Amino acid sequence: MSDIITLDALRRSFDDTESVTVLPPLHPGEVLREEFMVPLGLTAGAVAKALNLPRSRIERIVKEEIGISTDTALRLGRYFRTSHLFWLNLQTRFESETLLSEIGAELEGIQPVPEAA
């Protein structure tokens, strides 16, 4: 037997959906909390003060009660030296995945516009 993996076999392994664990959508507040605030020892109050925002906004984001607005994304990007799009993309992906699970069946019923001949 050969230990060589063919390109086709490798492609099939990626298409095997039974072996894929689907995780729930990742809220941007979890990323803010676990990847930025906890490692840096920051509190919601400290982040809010640095961003000139109400402490309750940061608290609600990290509790995953609200999302990240463009205003907050711009401020987080500046403060943590990331792109504001990093934060907005996290928010957009979370909202899209959440909504897709709610209205996916309805979307299947929408007939796409016919392709041009």
Which residue segment(s) compose the domain that 34 sits in? Answer: 25-103
- Please give the Cα distance from 117 to 115 (Å, whole number): 6
Distance separating alpha carbons of residues 33 and 63, to the nearest angstrom:
9
pTM of the predicted model, to two decimals?
0.78
Residue at 19 is within a domain: no
In a domain, 62, yes or no: yes
Amino acid 38: pLDDT: 98
Overall domain count for the chain: 1
Residue pLDDT, tens place only, 9-55: 767 767 766 767 778 899 999 999 999 999 999 999 999 999 999 99
Q: How many residues are recorded in the chain?
A: 117
CATH classification at residue 54:
1.10.260.40
On whether the CB atoms of residues 32 and 62 are closer than 8 A, the answer is yes
Residue 45 phi, psi dihedral angles, 5° rounding: -65, -40
